[in-house]
Amino acid sequence: MRILNRIELIQKINKNKFDFYAQLYSLLFAIILIFFILFLSGLNIVDAVISFFYFSFGSWFLFNENLIIIGILGISSIGITLAKKCNFWNIGGEGQILLGALGGVLVALFWPETAYLFGNFTAIVLSLLFGGLIPLIIAILKVKRGADEVVLTLLSNFIIILLIAFLVSGPLQDQATKWIQSPTISSNFTLPKIFGFGRLGISIVIYCIILIFFFLIEKFTLLNSSLLVLGDNINSLRIIGYKTLPLFYITIFLSGALCGLSGWLEVSNYQYRLIENLVPSYGYYAILIAVLANSKILNTAFYTIICAIILNGIDGVSREFDLPIFMNYIVFGATFIFYSIIFKLKGKKIIIKK
């Protein structure tokens, strides 16, 4: 028995090592690719690397920008990771972020004079409900009718994005400026800054609280194992009964709700209005973080920090050298592709050994 336990432990350690190196190599390959593209564009690679690190860490302001991204992106990443634990691919984070922002903005615009605490509480609750509703409906369709959540959550993004574009250019448009955005929300709904000045808001504190809460649940309760079992056997639930389904539905609802919350925090802490490109592609970045984190809550923190650094660095390099803004998408897309290839090659290696 002891020998078997020791073998299992060694296998687990080897698997964790492989996962870590696969994630690390994927990120390195993607960064090397982007700098190779810059080299082909005729840029000085040394200058590009210096600019990358400067725009990531070069000043207190830029460091705060990293924390701002971490706060908003991190909450969405935890949400997507919760769904992935159940083997539910929530690709709709982008739309759910916008829906959550819409829920909070509706409260702020149509109830502007409410008390500060009650108003913010109501806006947060509505953002959670708006964000969680769509994935919950899709989860029910998956269980009841065998619907493909990848297709449905992905398509929901486009519907929600078009809906928000219609609202901010029509019914919710700011009539004072005629810009494609909602009116500025009341000060009763703006969340405070951490230091009372600058851009860094309380969203980073809320993210840390959520991270610690779900990490403790994952580490010290049986809920984590229950979610993994649910994900592996979701198709069997129709046969063995539906007693465990509420846990599945609650988890998927929380997945979307956290994305919705991050959208409202972006509005109430930084933007103060609803716009079309509220947090461009954060929902998709959150998917990559969930994959790299191996569905482990604490790991999402590490990869959220890495993603924030890359986003700020590449964005700064793009502005400095007048490059297309889609360079970020190349980095994250290439990381996902490299990671998939590494695991595919690992699978072929195992088959050959057999």
DSSP characters for 287-319?
Answer: HHHHHHTTT-HHHHHHHHHHHHHHHHHHHHHHH
Amino acid 294: pLDDT:
83
Sign of CA dihedral 251, 255, 260, 265: positive
Range among 80-84, 289-293, 346-350 with highest mean pLDDT value: 80-84
Please report which confidence band the pLDDT of residue 221 belongs to, taking 50, 70 and 90 as the band edges.
confident
Segment 8-22, tens digit of pLDDT = 434 444 445 556 677
Question: The tokens of 252 are what?
Answer: 């998927």
pLDDT at 6 over 80: no
- Nearest Cα to Cα of residue 234 among 215, 219, 247: 247
Q: How far is CA 121 from CA 126, 264, 268, in A?
A: 9, 11, 12
**Distance of alpha carbon 273 from alpha carbon 95, whole angstroms:** 17
Amino acid 12: pLDDT:
44
- Nearest Cα to Cα of residue 278 among 265, 289, 263: 263
Question: The tokens of 195 are what?
Answer: 């230091």
- First-last CA distance in the chain: 25
Q: What is the mean predicted confidence (pLDDT) over 324-349?
A: 68
Please report which confidence band the pLDDT of residue 233 belongs to, taking 50, 70 and 90 as the band edges.
low
Amino acid 231: pLDDT:
61
Task: Pick 28-36+61-353's CATH classification: 1.10.287, 1.10.3470, 1.20.5, 3.40.30.
Answer: 1.10.3470
Rounded to the nearest integer, the mean pLDDT of the chain is 82
* CB atoms inside a 10 Å sphere around CB 255: 32
Cα 249 off chain centre by: 19
Amino acid 274: pLDDT:
94
pLDDT at 171 over 60: yes
pLDDT at 235 over 70: no
Q: What is the mean predicted confidence (pLDDT) over 284-300?
A: 89
Sign of CA dihedral 50, 55, 58, 63: negative
Do 200 and 69 form a contact (C-beta atoms < 8 A)? Answer: no
Helix, strand, or coil here: 267?
A: helix
Q: What is the mean predicted confidence (pLDDT) over 335-341?
A: 73
Do 80 and 215 form a contact (C-beta atoms < 8 A)? Answer: no
Segment 60-117, tens digit of pLDDT = 888 888 999 999 999 999 999 999 988 899 999 999 999 999 999 999 998 888 888 8
Q: What is the dihedral of CA 162, 165, 167, 172, to 10 degrees?
A: 170
Range among 23-32, 122-131, 280-289, 331-340 with highest mean pLDDT value: 122-131
pLDDT at 281 over 80: yes
pLDDT at 219 over 80: yes
- In this structure, of 159-163, 190-194, 222-226, the range with the lowest mean pLDDT score is 222-226
Supply the Cα-derived Rg of the chain in whole angstroms: 21
Strand partners, 247: none
Do 90 and 248 form a contact (C-beta atoms < 8 A)? Answer: no
Amino acid 2: pLDDT:
44
Higher pLDDT, 345 or 1: 345
pLDDT at 349 over 50: no
Q: What is the mean predicted confidence (pLDDT) over 225-238?
A: 62
Do 262 and 282 form a contact (C-beta atoms < 8 A)? Answer: yes
**Distance of alpha carbon 66 from alpha carbon 148, whole angstroms:** 35
- In this structure, of 3-7, 246-250, 273-277, the range with the lowest mean pLDDT score is 3-7
pTM of the predicted structure, to 2 decimals: 0.86
Segment 251-276, tens digit of pLDDT = 999 999 999 999 999 999 999 999 98
pLDDT at 49 over 70: yes
SS3 content of the chain, % helix, strand, coil (to 5): 75, 0, 20
Do 70 and 242 form a contact (C-beta atoms < 8 A)? Answer: no
Amino acid 47: pLDDT:
85
Do 282 and 77 form a contact (C-beta atoms < 8 A)? Answer: no
Q: What angle do CA 163, 169, 175 make, to 5 degrees?
A: 140
Going by the DSSP 8-state scheme, the letter that residue 188 receives in this structure is G
Amino acid 48: pLDDT:
82
Segment 148-169, tens digit of pLDDT = 899 999 999 999 999 999 999 9
pLDDT at 1 over 50: no
- In this structure, of 62-66, 183-187, 317-321, the range with the lowest mean pLDDT score is 317-321
Do 301 and 74 form a contact (C-beta atoms < 8 A)? Answer: yes
